[in-house]
Structure 1
Amino acid sequence: MQFRRFAVYHLPDGELGDFGAAWLGWDLRSGTAVAHPDGLDEAARDATATPRRYGFHATLKAPFRLAQGRELSELALALRMICDRLAPFALDLVPSRDWGFAALRPGQQPPELVALESSVVTRLDEFRAPLTPQEYDRRRPEALPAQARKHLDHWGYPFVLDLFSYHLTLSDGMDARAAGAVLDLLSPRLSPLIAPPMRVNAAALVGEDEAGFFHLIEEFPLRG
């Protein structure tokens, strides 16, 4: 399969991963559409059109085009080498309706998460093609805070490093009231799934197909 962009994600597994994939309607691991959970079909269709293409994930390095002269195999090897030196960890997830969408976020970001994100962002940047003017303008640089603008200019994405916030997106962009309603609807099913800490044991290299849907290429265990 040909991919037009690549990214590095964390993909929840187990029952939480299965539920997230079903809620969004797209399974990154299998690269297939999946049925929405029983009783939530209409709500899922109405609330998840945008995040569906990306699958249930947290972004570690935002989607980018491969730099000229670089190969996917080189990118994969570099990510493997990063993961070989970093330790697995766990996150205590809580529902959130910040930033204009419903999501799951950690109560705090442990040092191991910060190390993973910063390593992926900085050490893989040589594989990222520069943003086109159209890609740059889509980030609305004129509306970004100064630090986010600097990150966009340097790393191709504004919310990295000191501005990074791990999140598992559950909805399209919406006002706080609508996002709260989505979380209330999902709470009976999500609460038992996020009661235990979620293990982060691997980072995933993913690719975007020509239709805009993301697929798992390979997962790399954290072996540090």
Structure 2
Amino acid sequence: MTGFPRYAIYYTPPADTALSAFGADLLGYDAWTGRDRPCPDDVVNDVPDWAELTADARKYGFHATLKAPFSLAETRSERELCDACAGFAAAPRTVPMIRPVVDAISGFVAVIPGEVSPALQDFAAECVRAFEPFRAAMTAEDRARRKPELLSPQQRAHLDRWGYPYVMDDFRFHMTLTCRLSDERRRPILSMLQARYAALGITSLAIDRIALFCQPTPRSRFSILASWRIADR
């Protein structure tokens, strides 16, 4: 199995924003502090098994994947990875802007773009390529856990090339709020989360930063080591 610690390059909103609080409250965990936080009482009252429905997402914290979790290559260090993140963020580029909405994606409920953003797709692909030299080679066990037999030929190619199947043309930006739900369960939960999100009044979101997350041990949750704002062109 993959060695630890594991690292990931994610987008996550700044700690002092309404969107960050929205995600951390619903997941019951704040990746900025590495601490639990109570889920809203009204959500737990409406959905008594809310903690169970958010257990998987809680492990990773509120985020959108840019470079999926990986172990460091033997010749690389955490300090070098931090320096690479800083260098990547300092290079001027067009900062993607999206209209964020709460909706279903592959059975999950998540914050997703209201429309496809070519700039965001390009940005995510840049992240995959830029940090690939830091990723340790995938083990046979890790590959098997991805169930390659259920992936498309292109996704299997991505898995073998980049260690993760949902990259490049298969990338879909999402900030997960629940586990995969049946249609019957998802409908009322989606409506409830959409109403809570609408109250925030967020109509646009700049994907203007990257954050380095770390999972020290298999039983640990991911937490944020550092974040960097992207230099806008």
TM-score by length of 1: 0.93
Provide the C-alpha distance between the structure 2 equivalents of 1:110 and 1:97, rounded to a whole number of angstroms: 18
Tell me which amino acid in the other structure corresponds to 1:71.
S
- How far did residue 192 of structure 1 move? 2.6
Relative to structure 1, the CA distance from residue 51 to residue 99 in structure 2 (aligned partners, 3 Å threshold; closer, same or farther) is: same
- Measured against aligned partners, the alpha-carbon deviations of 1:91-141 in whole angstroms (never above 9, x if no partner) come to 101222121211121022334322321111011101001111111111000
- Measured against aligned partners, the alpha-carbon deviations of 1:3-62 in whole angstroms (never above 9, x if no partner) come to 610001100231111011010011011111111113123353132011111111100010
For the 8 Å contact 2:100–2:113, the answer to whether it is kept is yes
Q: Tell me if 1:45 matches 2:67.
A: no
**Structure 2: gaps (5+ residues):** none
Q: Secondary structure at the match of 1:97?
A: strand
- How far did residue 206 of structure 1 move? 0.6
Relative to structure 1, the CA distance from residue 70 to residue 194 in structure 2 (aligned partners, 3 Å threshold; closer, same or farther) is: farther
Query: 1:70-81 maps to which residues of 2 (within 5 A)?
Result: 70-81=76-87
- How far did residue 87 of structure 1 move? 3.4
Return the match for 1:21 from 13, 21, 24. Answer: 24
Provide the C-alpha distance between the structure 1 equivalents of 2:97 and 2:50, rounded to a whole number of angstroms: 28
For the 8 Å contact 2:96–2:123, the answer to whether it is kept is no
Return the match for 1:113 from 117, 120, 123. Answer: 120
- How far did residue 90 of structure 1 move? 2.3
Query: 1:126-145 maps to which residues of 2 (within 5 A)?
Result: 126-145=133-152
Q: Secondary structure at the match of 1:131?
A: coil
Query: 1:1-224 maps to which residues of 2 (within 5 A)?
Result: 4-13=5-14, 14-41=17-44, 42-85=48-91, 86-193=93-200, 195-210=202-217, 211-224=219-232
Tell me which amino acid in the other structure corresponds to 1:40.
V
For the 8 Å contact 1:205–1:216, the answer to whether it is kept is yes
For the 8 Å contact 1:76–1:205, the answer to whether it is kept is yes
CA RMSD of aligned residues (A): 1.6
Q: Which runs of 4+ in 1 moved over 6 A?
A: none
For the 8 Å contact 1:19–1:37, the answer to whether it is kept is no
For the 8 Å contact 2:102–2:193, the answer to whether it is kept is no
- Measured against aligned partners, the alpha-carbon deviations of 1:140-171 in whole angstroms (never above 9, x if no partner) come to 00110010000000000000011110001110
Q: Secondary structure at the match of 2:24?
A: helix
- How far did residue 63 of structure 1 move? 0.3
- Larger displacement relative to structure 2 (98-107 or 138-147): 98-107
Identical aligned residues as a percent: 34
TM-score by length of 2: 0.90
How many residues are matched? Answer: 222
